[in-house]
């Protein structure tokens, strides 16, 4: 894909992304498509796929089927199909839960490490310690033994 095409795709608005995916899925009928197939069709940027599909699902325009197909890497992926006749240009209405989750994420991001520990009821022992001292000699010795 050329950088020009990638640039153009990155400028798509939410309604345009929803419409492109929806029209693609409509064209696929009952066969549907996986996220991977939609991305490989060059419709929208990879990083926008999941969120845009979720918006379409909230609108009732897209449903997950019981089928799976392999991606290009061989991993199984869910197949989605479109529900005809849904206006996808209008964004899904935010629910009270959506607003509360947004507020909760903001509060969690603002918490100190101790506040997070208290919140989840943990002293941090289960968590992997990321503040460790790197011992180069010990690391290299594991290859020499």
| pLDDT of the residue at 40 | 92
Using the Cα atoms of residue 6, residue 31, residue 16 and residue 14 in order, give the sign of their dihedral. Answer: negative
Q: Examine the domain organization and report whether 20 and 64 are in the same domain.
A: yes
Residue 11 lies in a domain: yes
pLDDT, residue 120, reads: 87
Q: Give 115-133 pLDDT, tens digit per residue.
A: 888 888 876 565 555 554 5
Q: Do 11 and 77 belong together in one domain?
A: yes
Assigned token pair, 133: 């001292």
Instruction: Give the integer Cα–Cα distance in Å for 37 and 40.
Output: 5
Point out which residues pair with 80 in neighbouring strands.
33, 64
Tokens of 80: 């989605």
The residue behind tokens 């095409």 is: 5
Position 92 pLDDT exceeds 70: yes
Q: Give yes or no: residues 70 and 103 share one domain.
A: no
* Conformational region of residue 121, where left means phi above 0, alpha means psi within -120 to 50, and beta covers everything else: left
Is pLDDT above 90 for 135? no
Distance CA 34, CA 29 (A): 13
Residues 28, 34 contacting (CB under 8 angstroms) = no
Residue 7's CATH number: 1.10.10.10
Tell whether the model's pLDDT for residue 22 goes beyond 60. yes
Q: What is the phi-psi region of residue 60: left when phi exceeds 0, alpha when psi lies from -120 to 50, beta otherwise?
A: left
pLDDT in tens, 34-53: 999 999 998 888 888 888 99
Residue 26 counted as domain residue? yes
- Domain that includes residue 33, residue range: 3-82
Please give the Cα distance from 124 to 113 (Å, whole number). 9
pTM (predicted TM-score): 0.62
């Amino acid at each position: 894909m050329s950088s020009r095409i990638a640039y153009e795709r990155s400028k798509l608005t939410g309604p345009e992304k929803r419409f492109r995916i929806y029209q693609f899925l409509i064209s696929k009928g009952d066969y549907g498509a996986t996220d991977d197939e939609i991305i490989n069709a060059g419709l929208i940027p990879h990083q926008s796929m999941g969120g845009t599909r979720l918006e379409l699902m909230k609108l009732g325009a897209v449903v997950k089927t019981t089928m799976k197909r392999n991606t290009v890497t061989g991993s199984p992926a869910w197949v989605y199909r479109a529900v005809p006749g849904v206006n996808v240009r209008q964004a899904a209405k935010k629910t009270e839960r959506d607003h509360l989750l947004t507020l909760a994420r903001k509060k969690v991001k603002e918490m100190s490490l101790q506040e997070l520990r208290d919140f989840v009821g943990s002293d941090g022992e289960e968590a992997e310690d990321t503040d460790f001292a790197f011992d180069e000699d010990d690391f290299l010795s594991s290859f020499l033994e």
